[in-house]
Amino acid sequence: MSTHPLEATAKAMVAPGKGILAADESTGTIEKRFAGIKVESTEENRCAYRDMLFSAKGLGQYISGVILYDETMRQKSADGTPFVELLSKNGILPGIKVDTGAKDLALCPNEKVTEGLDNLAKRCAEYGKMGAKFAKWRAVVTIGAGMPSSTCIAANAHALARYAAICQAAGLTPIVEPEVLMDGDHTVERCEEATEWTLNAVYEALHLHRVTLEQSVLKPSMVISGKDCPKQAGVEEVAERTVRILKRTVPAAVAGVVFLSGGQSDEVATEHLNAMNRMYAGKLPWPLSFSYGRALQQPSLKAWKGSASNVAIAQAALLHRARMNGLACLGRYTAELERQALAA
């Protein structure tokens, strides 16, 4: 039996020792990231920054795919090569964010629902023609007083399932991303509860909407303590709790799991992924990998500072984080490797 092309893409996205670079910041989000390094968010600067990331030599050794934003999908490298082509040439699959952002969920104060289903089939077909192989849709779930509500969970699970079904019908492999936010002072137990609830609802909705799980990738948040919680769960506790919830809720047919970093520091995100792969090697039905935005880009962004003269050191910083996370996919990351490489 031959493998369906969407399943082959899903498998390639989680190939051993590789993960995904999320570089799909919307114009508003990249403006915030640039403000942190005092760089103006012009189309030219956004293009130069993404060019620096995508033309890092050897990136394809650790990165299987890159998620792009609509504007980036249409931009070119300095030598005139379209980004989509540049990535494909380096063995990296181009992907595209297709949601239009998390908006206020009516009658549910402080909760969000992700929009973007309007014309989605048409947009997916266009992105497919432009060379995209996979897509991403991010839902956010907030923990707080009386939150998450069942309304928020149901609305977001439904939208994720509609999106995933539309992608598969249009020939794109969907990344299904339900993010339980780390904002707040909630305990790790509450995060675990909210994550279990969310993932259960998501897989029920995917089933209802006839999504083929083998042709999909899950992008969850890890089970961690709220950012402002005085008691922070340690690395092994996070690994244990996260894997426990994935085992309870994610069908074995799913092609792979790629975590988001969600505001964890770059090294902590790597440590968590490494611990899971070290502690559960050979015991799980899906590969556990990464699809980090900030945790891959932050050191590179800081080194770049908007200047062409910093491109080489910024690329070295990106390659370093990509390599460390590639090792974490195999459970082979160590603090020594982190330090050695930094000293080199």
Supply the residues annotated as catalytic.
177, 219
Residue 99 and residue 113 in contact, taking contact as beta carbons nearer than 8 Å = no
Among residues 60, 293, 299, 326, the one that binds ligand 13P under rule CB under 6 A: 293
CA-derived radius of gyration, the chain: 19
> Among 53-61, 70-78, 147-155, 292-300, which window interacts with ligand 13P (CB under 6 A)?
292-300
DSSP for residue 96:
E
8-state DSSP, 232: -
CA distances from 167 to 22, 88, 103, 217 (A): 18, 20, 21, 12
Question: Hey, which residues between 231 and 290 contact ligand 13P (CB under 6 A)?
Answer: 260-262
Under the binding rule (CB under 6 A), the answer on residue 138 touching ligand 13P is yes
Least distance from C-beta 283 to ligand 13P, angstroms?
25
In order of 57, 320, 336, the CA distances from 339 in angstroms are 22, 11, 5
Find the residue with minimal CB distance to ligand 13P: 293
- # binding residues, ligand 13P (CB under 6 A): 10
CB of 83 or CB of 292, closer to ligand 13P: 292
Determine if 197 is a binding residue for ligand 13P (CB under 6 A).
no
Answer whether 34's CB lies under 8 Å from 62's CB. no
Q: Minimum distance between the CB of residue 294 and ligand 13P, rounded to whole angstroms?
A: 3
| Per CB under 6 A, 300 contacts ligand 13P | no
Scan residues 18-57 and list those touching ligand 13P (CB under 6 A). Answer: 22
Residue with Cβ nearer ligand 13P (81 or 183): 183
d(CA 155, CA 161): 10
Residue of the chain from 52, 275, 295, 319 that contacts ligand 13P (CB under 6 A): 295
In the complex, minimum distance from the CB of residue 67 to ligand 13P, in angstroms, rounded to a whole number: 6
- Residue of 203, 292, 304, 333 interacting with ligand 13P (CB under 6 A): 292
3-state secondary structure (DSSP) of residue 82: strand
Alpha-carbon separation of residue 270 from 203, 207, 226, 321, 329 (angstroms): 27, 32, 18, 9, 9
Residue 112 sits in the site that holds ligand 13P (CB under 6 A):
no
Query: Quick one: angle between helices 266-279 and 294-304, nearest 10?
Result: 150
For ligand 13P, the closer CB: 81 or 100: 100
Work out how close the CB of 309 gets to ligand 13P at its nearest, in angstroms, rounded to a whole number. 27
Question: Are the C-beta atoms of residues 259 and 290 closer than 8 Å to each other?
Answer: yes
Taking the complex as a whole, the smallest distance from the CB of residue 19 to ligand 13P amounts, in Å, to: 11
Question: 59, exposed or middle or buried, with CB in 10 Å at 0-12, 13-18, 19+?
Answer: buried
Which positions from 3 through 22 interact with ligand 13P, judged by CB under 6 A? 22
Burial of 67 (0-12, 13-18, 19+ CB in 10 A): buried
Token pair in block for residue 109: 């104060």
Options 112-120, 240-248, 291-299, 326-334: segment touching ligand 13P (CB under 6 A):
291-299
CA–CA gap between residue 36 and residue 326 (Å, rounded): 27
**What tokens were used for 95?**
């992907």
Select 4 or 117, whichever has its Cβ closest to ligand 13P: 117
Q: Does 294 bind ligand 13P (CB under 6 A)?
A: yes
Closest to ligand 13P by CB, 152 or 175: 175
HSE of 82, CA atoms in CB hemisphere, 13 A: 11
Binding interface with ligand 13P (CB under 6 A): 22, 138, 177, 260-262, 292-295
